[in-house]
Structure 1
Amino acid sequence: MPHLVAVCAVHTLHPDAGSVGVTAIDKRPIEGAVRVGKLGVRADVQASRKHHGGPDKAVYAYAHEDAAFWEGELGRELPSGWFGENLRVEGLDVNGARIGEVWRIGDTVEVEVTMPRTPCATFARWVGGAAGRGWVKRFSDEGRLGAYLRVRRAGEVRAGDAIEVVSSPEGAQTVLEMYRG
């Protein structure tokens, strides 16, 4: 059964060479129940509201299986939150999810898949070193992007909560199809 591995929020802001001067990509797991509202996970922030956050990008989900792939590629552990994700999920094909698909997490929270993540230079700088060079293309080409979610019903979630696909619009593009479209 698909489930939530971790709920993550910003740990600390880091200086960044981008236009904003800082990045909030450093997310870490939060213990216990965590409130998820219309604009995302409580205690989380986005340094660049132009490219992150808002109702259609309130929450970013990344699959544990995709993180495991990158651990093998990069030769290091990539803990929950390393991709800047708010939700690390397992047993759910996030990149194969259809735009408009609705997931229930735990007893109350409902989210809707809105779009793929588009990797950026900030993400490449976060990866760092030799791996960071060419990272945007490499991450894009691999198609393990993760998805942004709109919060349809607020509530609390915690690591271990079940995730149920409540509805999936037949014929809608998948996250990966939309990205490659």
Structure 2
Amino acid sequence: MSGMKLLSLNVGKATPVPFTDHPSGMSGIDKQPVDRPVRVAAPGVKGKGPGGVAGDEVCDQRFHGGDDQAVYAFAREDMDAWEQRLGRSLRNGFFGENLTTSGLDVSGALIGERWRIGSDLLVEVTCGRIPCATFQGQLGEKGWVRRFTQEGAPGAYLRVIEPGEISAGDPIEIVHRPEHDVTVAVQFRAATLDRSLLPRVLTAGEALHYEALKNAREYVAKYES
């Protein structure tokens, strides 16, 4: 696919919000575009270190951050579609994404697919984003979690394979596509609405987010054996 690029690079600062259940009462979901180069590196085990994008504050490390959720990407095309449905403007970063992409089918990416962003950064797709109450509070839309889930285009979490510095406008190149057919959208649907897809999801193997892989294995072992 030609014309793929990083449209916007976004970081969030810890801010008091009324809609999080984290004990701190803080969230970094409201990410703002930055116009400077930012370094992205593997953050380490979830709950033990900061996010993968320098300057991006991950408040609730129970569910965010860590190697398998180091970076979150969302397609501008999907956000444009939501603008039409909701009848309101949605700026880059408002969905909590670090990377707002253009020309890239993020939810159609395969688990284990690798992207080169700029000249150095190499990332790998691990899973879709599960919507939560904090996300619903950020949007302020009644029934948002349900609507977002039913739409089935969740954006993708990424792990960092090779660290690097990136800037808005950098090109994105798909440098590896695995041979299975498990897309982010398929994995997301299996995790939320259709558990019958979990055996298929397992064909993505170790490229999956470790918790998604663990949950799929446990379900299949219990109900499909």
Common fold: TM-score over 0.5: yes
Q: Does 1:15 align with 2:12?
A: no
Work out the number of aligned pairs and report it: 178
Query: Could you tell me which residue of structure 2 aligns to residue 176 of structure 1?
Result: 185
Query: Could you tell me which residue of structure 1 aligns to residue 169 of structure 2?
Result: 160
Indicate how the Cα distance of structure 1 residues 125 and 82 shifts in structure 2: closer, same or farther if over 3 A, else same: same
Contact 1:100/1:172 (CA < 8 Å) preserved in 2? no
AA of the residue aligned to 2:29: I
Contact 1:35/1:41 (CA < 8 Å) preserved in 2? yes
Query: Could you tell me which residue of structure 1 aligns to residue 61 of structure 2?
Result: 49
Q: Does 1:102 align with 2:114?
A: yes
Q: Which has the higher strand share?
A: 1
Q: Give 1 or 2 for the bigger CA radius of gyration.
A: 2
Provide structure 1 residue ranges, at least 5 long, that are not aligned to the other structure: none
Query: Could you tell me which residue of structure 1 aligns to residue 105 of structure 2?
Result: 93
AA of the residue aligned to 2:153: R
Q: Using CA pairs under 8 Å that are at least 6 residues apart, name the structure with larger relative contact order, 1 or 2.
A: 1
Partner residue of 1:35 out of 24, 32, 39? 39
Q: Which has the higher helix share?
A: 2
- Offset at 1:143? 1.2
Q: What is the CA RMSD across the aligned residues, in angstroms?
A: 1.1
Q: Determine the C-alpha separation between the residues in 2 that align with 1:11 and 1:30.
A: 12
Contact 1:61/1:89 (CA < 8 Å) preserved in 2? yes
- Offset at 1:80? 0.9
Partner residue of 2:93 out of 81, 95, 102? 81
Q: Determine the C-alpha separation between the residues in 1 that align with 2:130 and 2:107.
A: 12
AA of the residue aligned to 1:22: M
1:59-80 C-alpha deviation (Å, 9 max, x unpaired): 0000010010011111111111
Contact 2:74/2:155 (CA < 8 Å) preserved in 1? yes
1:142-166 C-alpha deviation (Å, 9 max, x unpaired): 1121000001111111111110000
Indicate how the Cα distance of structure 1 residues 5 and 153 shifts in structure 2: closer, same or farther if over 3 A, else same: same
Q: Does 1:65 align with 2:74?
A: no
Q: Percent identical across equivalent pairs?
A: 48
Provide structure 2 residue ranges, at least 5 long, that are not aligned to the other structure: 44-51, 191-225
Q: Determine the C-alpha separation between the residues in 2 that align with 1:46 and 1:11.
A: 8
Partner residue of 2:127 out of 106, 112, 115? 115
- SS of the aligned residue for 1:178 comes to helix
Query: Could you tell me which residue of structure 1 aligns to residue 221 of structure 2?
Result: none
Q: Determine the C-alpha separation between the residues in 1 that align with 2:159 and 2:18.
A: 27
TM score, norm. by length of structure 2? 0.77
Contact 1:36/1:154 (CA < 8 Å) preserved in 2? yes
- Offset at 1:16? 3.0
- Offset at 1:12? 4.7
Indicate how the Cα distance of structure 1 residues 56 and 14 shifts in structure 2: closer, same or farther if over 3 A, else same: same
